[in-house]
Amino acid sequence: MNQSQELDALIDRERNHIRTDKLDMTYGELASLYENKELIISPEYQRLFRWGEDQKARFIESILLGFPIPAIFVAEDQQGVWELVDGLQRMSTILEYIGVLKDLSDELVAPSRISFDNKKSTLAPLLDGLRYEELSLRSRLSIKRAHCRVEVIKVGSSERMKYEVFERLNTGGADLSAQEVRNCIFRATDPDFMRWVDELAEYPAYRDFLGISDNQKNAMYDRGLVLRFFTLKNNAENFGHDVEPFITAYIREVLEETVEFDMDIEGQVFRDTFDIITRIFGDDSWHYFKDGKHRGPFSVYVFDALSIAVARHLEYVKRIDPSILEDKLLEVKTSSEFLKNTGAGANTKARLLGRIAVAVDILTKEDENR
């Protein structure tokens, strides 16, 4: 069998992992399914509903003008219930506008008003400011009767396929961070694992001293750093050249149980590591140290070096006198060798392993003067 024949055989095998159907439905029908809990929007997907008022207004305008609307993707469960996989912004906009969308607490969201930024948009002069119930019956029915193509991932498909669909549709776009995509994929695969990650992200010694922006928190950067910590702690030597897919691939292996990962042990290592580092540096834990002062915003390079070095040598670190340990960790931050492995182009394998190695060497070296 030559290469092209092998490729054809692989395609045939992979196609057997997914069964799909295509339906044309109205938004009114989809809203009824949602109200009857026959169309589910996972709370973790709802967290990603972040269209601005103008984006929502222009979408409603597009429906009223009869513009073509992209398909939504749903996954069917054993009971025939659909779970939204892609199309969150469009579906949530419709549900919110007609007054049936529920929030994370399962409470109805107050129906919104149309609000255009660009008041010269086609319908803006007359549509701007109107609620759904203030539209004419004809316009309300136009919205409810507008057709949407629904791509259904049927029962019998490989369990991973709906997450493959979500990942392929969203990875690389500007709307979602890598961690937001991972959050949806992995939470549906193993919700217990992702709840565990949530708990670690709320651990005071980690949460209170991270020093990241509100925008980063909204994009789940703090959760991403938890997964980054475990990925680099356990698998840094296999890093290639792009951190985010590397994290995704490792956590997928964890969830598929193809690598050893004990959540009880790993969780304790995480808590001990951040207890130790933040007890010394507090709010300055993850900043560079230059000219006798901690400078700049959160540094992922400092985070990598200190947290991975301490975690990998935790029992040794626990035996070090706190004042000596503080000197050692401060030496890491000021080391010229460490600084050489940060900055532009620092996400190569050599430089990632280099900054961790510098931290380990400084942390574990014996001081003959003590």
Using DSSP's 3-state secondary structure scheme, residue 293 falls into: strand
pLDDT of res. 212:
87
Judged by DSSP in three states, 325 sits in helix
DSSP element (H, E) containing 39 = strand 39-40
Tell me how far CA of residue 313 lies from CA of 29, 269, 303, 336, 368, in angstroms.
Answer: 58, 10, 16, 22, 20
| pLDDT means over runs of 10, the chain (370 residues) | 83 73 94 95 66 91 93 86 86 94 88 89 92 96 95 74 65 58 70 90 94 81 94 94 87 91 97 96 88 79 96 95 93 91 84 95 72
Residue 214 confidence (pLDDT): 81
> Residue 56, SS3?
helix
pTM above 0.85, yes or no: no
C-alpha of 115 from chain center: 29
Whole-number pLDDT of residue 181: 67
Cα separation values, 21 from 31, 48, 151, 159, 338, Å? 20, 26, 6, 16, 54
Closest CA to 261 of 180, 209, 190, 309: 190
pLDDT at residue number 47: 60
Please give the pLDDT value at position 173: 45
Q: Which residues contact 178 (CB under 8 A, 6 or more apart)?
A: 171, 224, 244, 245, 247, 248
What's the pLDDT score for residue 14?
73
Position 176 scores a pLDDT of 59
148: three-class secondary structure by DSSP:
strand
Distance CA 80, CA 92 (A): 21
- Among 268, 179, 280, which Cα is nearest to 221's? 179
The secondary structure element, H or E, covering residue 20 is: strand 20-26
